[in-house]
Amino acid sequence: MITSTARPTSSSPCSITREIYRGWNAIGLGNGLLKLFIVPEIGGRVIQLRLGAQDCFYVNPRHLGRVYSPEQNNFDSGWKNYGGSKVWPAPQGWSSDAEWPGPPDPVLDGGAYSCRILDDKSETAAVLLESPADDYTGLTFARELRIFQDTTTVRIRHSMRNTAARPVRWGIWQVTQHAVNGDIAVFTRARTYRQMLGDQAYASIRLDPDTKLWRLRYADQVAKFAVRPEDGWVATLDSQRRIAHVETFQLFPGVPYPDGAPLELWVNGRGSYTIHGDRMETQKDPNGCDPFLETEVLSPLAELQPGQEYTFHSAWHCTAIDADAVLRVEDCGAVARALEVQHRDKQLRVTGSFGLFHAAVAELVGTYRAGKEKAHVLGAATPLVPCVVDQLFPYEDGLSQISLRLRRPDGKLLGTVDHATVC
């Protein structure tokens, strides 16, 4: 059987709405499975991502509903950390004008972005956020956010355009703050990592030398890390609420990245860090010292002549998952416990645990050495409920592999979640 599946339900169309979210004028982008709340006025932020009834992003309660003027959000007045997800230029630094000295930044981080609807159909909906032109960096940022029917995947198209009269060199830096509600950890597969900030060594990290699975568990201690992932994914797992937020992105080996890494993690907690010679104590931050984790996905550095544009693609995928780790991410879902096959008399017991990115029909497919396949339909499945497989499958000579696949209700194959070899 497949436990934790959903009853078949009618599809919910994609929609774009205008509403008030926690005091802000927001754009809602939803499809019945997930919903984005976008506030263009505060730096084009996606202030919240909601999976079913559960909120994923951290939102700072000190700034709810507030929209600060440039005079209130600059170096003299201090940064206003609203929370949510935003885009910054990288590298960050204070040694030259080739580095971005924010936040605060009254234009790219805190300025009012425009918001244009690109699509508003039942099967897909998209908006385009665009920043004002920034004199310091010479950039104008844009971020297209697109959702689709029957999936929790959000496709994001980032772009930066040189709107200055001089050449510039920057990377795109997507920064997303995740709420900490108990036991929360970040997973990826990594080659190496290094602690960039934090005056004390951060101990809650494990790197398995065999699988290269890298895990950072939240501890109430400030720190920042640069990570060199093996694959283009990072998963933030809230095991208490049984939800995961996955980001996928393209890797570009051999090209320069800001800080030398395509992925960075910030742990917001108590303690101190030293930056440009100054010791910063987080307990004294006017934004507070609330617990949250920050996943930061970076593009390579791009050299842009006046008028040139650089584009970088990433995606979010949210899912309910019964797990204490995310081992792997595939196109259709996240793997918590890999598909496993055990012989039981003349049958096979097939088990595994997953988080799915699509509302679909799940099936187990046996592949035989002669090339034929036999499918056994398990039932309807949804990203809103963990997918736990425990199924008996008939054994026949020549059976070489069993796969967990997802299909749309019309029969079109969406893809394979996982597979296991039959010994």
pLDDT, one tens digit per residue, over 212-244 is 999 999 999 999 999 999 999 999 999 999 999
Q: In this structure, are strands 139-148 and 213-217 parallel, antiparallel, or unpaired?
A: unpaired
Give the C-alpha separation, 88 to 296, whole Å.
10
Q: Place 129 in a pLDDT band, splitting at 50, 70 and 90.
A: very high
Distances (CA, A) of 88 to 76, 272, 274: 20, 23, 21
What pLDDT, on the 0 to 100 scale, is given for residue 3?
A: 55
pLDDT in tens, 277-335: 889 999 999 999 999 999 999 999 999 999 999 999 999 999 999 999 999 999 999 99
> Which structural domains are found in the chain, ordered by start?
2-320 (2.70.98.10), 331-421 (2.60.40)
Cβ–Cβ < 8 Å for 238, 229: no
Cα distance between residue 372 and residue 244, in whole Å: 35
Those residues whose C-beta lies under 8 Å from the C-beta of residue 12, and which sit 6 or more positions away, are 31, 32, 33, 149
Measured CA to CA, the distance from residue 308 to residue 33 in angstroms comes to 37
Give the pTM: 0.95
Q: What is the structure's pLDDT at 10?
A: 54
Please report which confidence band the pLDDT of residue 5 belongs to, taking 50, 70 and 90 as the band edges.
very low
The one-character DSSP state at 240 is T
Structure confidence at residue 7 (pLDDT): 47
Q: Provide Rg for the chain, Cα atoms.
A: 22
**Cis peptide, bond prior to residue 106, ω within 30 of zero:** no
pLDDT of residue 423: 86
pLDDT confidence bin for 8, thresholds 50/70/90:
very low
| Amino acid in the structure at residue 270 | R
